Structure 1
């Protein structure tokens, strides 16, 4: 029987999810990236800002990235601009580092403690919510790519 810590298991599930998000940036054509109807880039930005929000420590300020442009991850607000693929890839990398720092502070007992940001859920809930939320947007973006006969991001699991 495999004896592993739950923190390790949850981290092992989030990491390939973030890799898939990075790959969505890589495989996207500029035409799709700039398409104001699909808002492909906004799905990626919206998904990754969850890490910025939920993986904060108590008292840490939440900062939405705007790339010094008229950009927001909020779907209810229009943007006059969009981040470049490079800018969004860099932000994803920053959020990967933030998630690593978050996991480094955890142990299995702390997973069951209230989330620092919203005490009605546990830290484990916050992690699982992020995996589910990001995967939803990965599927949405893959659908955009597929509908336009473009390469899609392949599923990644542990060890791939």
Structure 2
């Protein structure tokens, strides 16, 4: 691995850890909302599925085998009951080593190569888009907590080198 790849892995790992903090610290009152797509559980599912989908070059896609009656799309709903924190923590535990496996195949040169599964996209695009996607969803959660005068999880890696 090289310097750029290591920095990318660091920032994706910090973002992922912040998502973990969201799952663990989310009050039950926000976990399930009346509107499914406003629920924290749905945003967590959506975010984890995105990583699962895009980082599939070197490992399996887990979503369909685990959640075949669910949709991770934020503009669609399903008739299945909300997923619990325990269920999404288990899914997260499958995704975390998937990220590690993805980075074990990366170096600074390979970052600019195209994914064999997503040929229009480079590995660098995949990594950067997942960092942005995780942070956007963590920000959504923080906004909900802050607007309810609750403390949001601590941001990690802020102004650190």
TM-score bracket relative to the smaller structure: 0.7 to 0.9
C-alpha distance in structure 2 between counterparts of 1:156 and 1:57, whole Å: 28
TM-score by length of 2: 0.86
Aligned to 1:71: 70
- Structure 2: any 5+ residue segments left out of the alignment? none
Q: 1:7 to 1:77 in 2, by over 3 A?
A: same
Aligned to 2:152: 152
Deviation at 1:18, TM superposition (A): 0.4
Contact 1:67 1:87 in 2 (8 A): no
C-alpha distance in structure 1 between counterparts of 2:61 and 2:100, whole Å: 17
C-alpha distance in structure 1 between counterparts of 2:60 and 2:157, whole Å: 32
1:24 aligns with 2:22: yes
Deviation at 1:65, TM superposition (A): 5.0
C-alpha distance in structure 1 between counterparts of 2:107 and 2:14, whole Å: 20
Deviates more, 1:103-112 or 1:116-125: 116-125
C-alpha distance in structure 2 between counterparts of 1:155 and 1:16, whole Å: 9
Aligned to 1:112: 112
Q: 1:63 to 1:33 in 2, by over 3 A?
A: same
Deviation at 1:71, TM superposition (A): 2.9
1:91-102 mapped onto 2 (5 Å cutoff): 91-102=91-102
Contact 1:10 1:127 in 2 (8 A): yes
Cα-to-partner distance string for 1:45-66 (whole Å, 9 max, x where unaligned): 11121111111127x7644257
Paired residues in the alignment total: 156
Q: 1:65 to 1:18 in 2, by over 3 A?
A: farther
Cα-to-partner distance string for 1:30-76 (whole Å, 9 max, x where unaligned): 11112223211111111121111111127x76442575584321122
Secondary structure, counterpart of 1:139 in structure 2: helix
1:36 aligns with 2:44: no
C-alpha distance in structure 1 between counterparts of 2:44 and 2:98, whole Å: 17
- Structure 1: any 5+ residue segments left out of the alignment? none
* Pairwise CA RMSD: 2.3
C-alpha distance in structure 2 between counterparts of 1:126 and 1:68, whole Å: 23
